[in-house]
Chain A
Amino acid sequence: MFSLSTFLDAFWPLTMAARYTLLVSGLGIALGLVIGAFVCVLALSKSRAARIAAAVWVSYLRGVPMLVQLLVVFFLLPVIGIDVPAIVAAVVTTAIVASAYISEIWRGAITALPRGQAEAAIAIGMRPRDSWIRIILPQAVALSIPQLINELILLVKASSLVSVVGVMEITRASQAQAGVTFRPLEAYLAAACLYLAINLCLAALGRWLEHRMAV
């Protein structure tokens, strides 16, 4: 029988654990945006070496499952003498995986802009820097909002993977809860509700941003 009280009781520990889910995915996307911007610059660079470096970065991070990458980072760091808590390995992995997708989202948005947008700026004698800051980037960022929100939602869900290295986020907390109460269904259903609640909020944030930045 389904126990409503067990189900409701699971929410408190899971909500506490949600802080780690939000920390991993939030820091992951924030760092991912920064690294992704840098990778995007490399990908659009005139230098062939820079473009190859960006392509290798993106191919590896998109081509290897995040769980495997997480384990690689988690076990690699101590080998090269960096001893960090599991949460750091989790954030680093999430950030670099996100950076690969984000750099592609931005590259796509920038190259999707008609050439004439930059040409109009060049033709009146605008400096390349101003044309990027005033003309290209505002449009590219606005264009990329729906995909960035999508990426953030994917990251929130992917953060469940970091439970395997011992980070007490929603998924691991629900496993612990199930172990204590011997009621796995209630624990995992509560976890499902929490994930859904977080992602519905993110989707609403996305719609609001899209509306605000609509051109």
Chain B
Amino acid sequence: MVEASSVEIRKVNKYYGPFQALKDVDLTIPPGKVTCLIGPSGSGKSTLLRCINFLEEYDSGEIRIDGQLIGYEAPGRKMSGRKLRAMRRSIGMVFQQFNLWPHMTALGNVAEGLVRVRGLRKAEAETRAAEALAKVGLADKMGNHPSRLSGGQQQRVAIARAIAMEPRLMLFDEPTSALDPELVGEVLNVMKTLAAEGMTMVVVTHEMGFAAHVADQVAFMEKGELVGVDSPAGILHHPEDIRIQGFLRTYHERNSF
């Protein structure tokens, strides 16, 4: 296992025109730990996650990965594309809609980055891609195109695509939200394995069970603000903030029958 990254988020602000999507967000993500971001839709948790690998550009504040500022050379001065790509190489990302490339097989999807970004030879890339696919339990589906895979299998290929690059940090943007309920478990299990190996993970999720059992810390966001960060028990069982209490009440009501 490669070394795990830490992330320091300091006073981050993000605007879409007049709308402020992130308001002075502060969050420390310790190395080798799982941080879950929860909160209502539109609270800014996906935006914050996407700022960590600079898929979204934050407007002010700092996000540092292992001490290195991402996206900017200095406040207000953008980083070169080459430097940004170098930083992104060690940050894996998994999307809600999987975003697999439909014209490539599962193996092709995983090997592509190894060839184009890491510069491996095709044969070597495919060997490593096959290992990554085996790790997520898809050794027998390597030759399938995404359209021939279930949602859960597609998301596992997407995870394999990310881990094959040997990242030190993994970002998950609602990885199970697009899945049928019976397929959620297989994806969460792969994520639990990664967590157990000591990967630094930031997970935007509505899976409170995952947050409760796998996360080391849980951050609650609402209206672009980070309302609270605590242990899973602290946030999910003994929340002090009235906004967190309200969110959890709604969550429990929706999930009781």
Contacts and interface: CB of A to CB of B under 8 A. Distances in A.
Contacts of A126: 85, 112-113, 116-117
Given A119-B55, A139-B102, A215-B147, A124 B113 contact: yes
Contact of B93 (A117, A123, A128): A123
Nearest to B89: A125
B55 A130 contact: no
B188 to A, nearest CB: 21
Given A119-B55, A215-B145, A215-B147, A125 B113 contact: yes
Given A114-B97, A139-B103, A122 B116 contact: no
B86 A125 contact: yes
A125 B117 contact: yes
Interface in B49-100: 53, 55, 81, 85-89, 91-93, 95, 97, 99-100
A119 B145 contact: no
A70 to B, nearest CB: 39
A62 interface: no
B101 interface: yes
Contacts of A116: 95, 97, 99
A115 to B, nearest CB: 9
A114 B113 CA distance: 19
Contacts of A125: 85-89, 113, 117, 165
Nearest to A115: B99
A124 B112 CA distance: 10
B99 A114 contact: yes
Nearest to A213: B103
Contacts of B160: none
Interface in B84-140: 85-89, 91-93, 95, 97, 99-103, 112-113, 116-117
A124 B101 contact: no
A23 interface: no
B38 to A, nearest CB: 22
A142 interface: yes
Contacts of A130: 116-117
A215 B117 contact: no
Given A116-B95, A124-B117, A138 B103 contact: yes
Given A116-B95, A122-B55, A215 B113 contact: no
A128 to B, nearest CB: 8
A215 B105 CA distance: 10
Contact of A124 (B97, B147, B162): B162
Nearest to B164: A124
Given A119-B95, A134-B112, A134-B116, A124 B88 contact: yes
Interface in A129-178: 130, 134-135, 138-139, 142
B101 A117 contact: yes
Contacts of A119: 55, 95, 99
B161 interface: yes
A215 B144 CA distance: 11
B103 A215 contact: yes
A134 B162 CA distance: 17
Interface in A100-122: 114, 116-117, 119-120, 122
A123 B116 contact: no
A127 interface: yes
29 contacts: A114-B97, A116-B95, A116-B97, A117-B101, A119-B95, A119-B99, A120-B93, A120-B99, A122-B55, A122-B88, A123-B55, A123-B88, A123-B91, A124-B88, A124-B161, A124-B162, A124-B165, A125-B85, A125-B89, A126-B113, A127-B81, A127-B116, A128-B81, A130-B117, A134-B112, A135-B101, A139-B102, A142-B103, A215-B147
Interface of A: 114, 116-117, 119-120, 122-128, 130, 134-135, 138-139, 142, 215
Interface of B: 53, 55, 81, 85-89, 91-93, 95, 97, 99-103, 112-113, 116-117, 145, 147, 158, 161-162, 165
Given A120-B100, A123-B55, A139-B103, 11 more contacts: A116-B95, A116-B99, A117-B99, A120-B93, A120-B95, A120-B158, A120-B161, A124-B92, A126-B116, A139-B102, A215-B145
* CB-based closest 9 A-B pairs: A116-B99, A120-B99, A125-B89, A123-B93, A125-B88, A124-B113, A125-B85, A215-B103, A215-B102
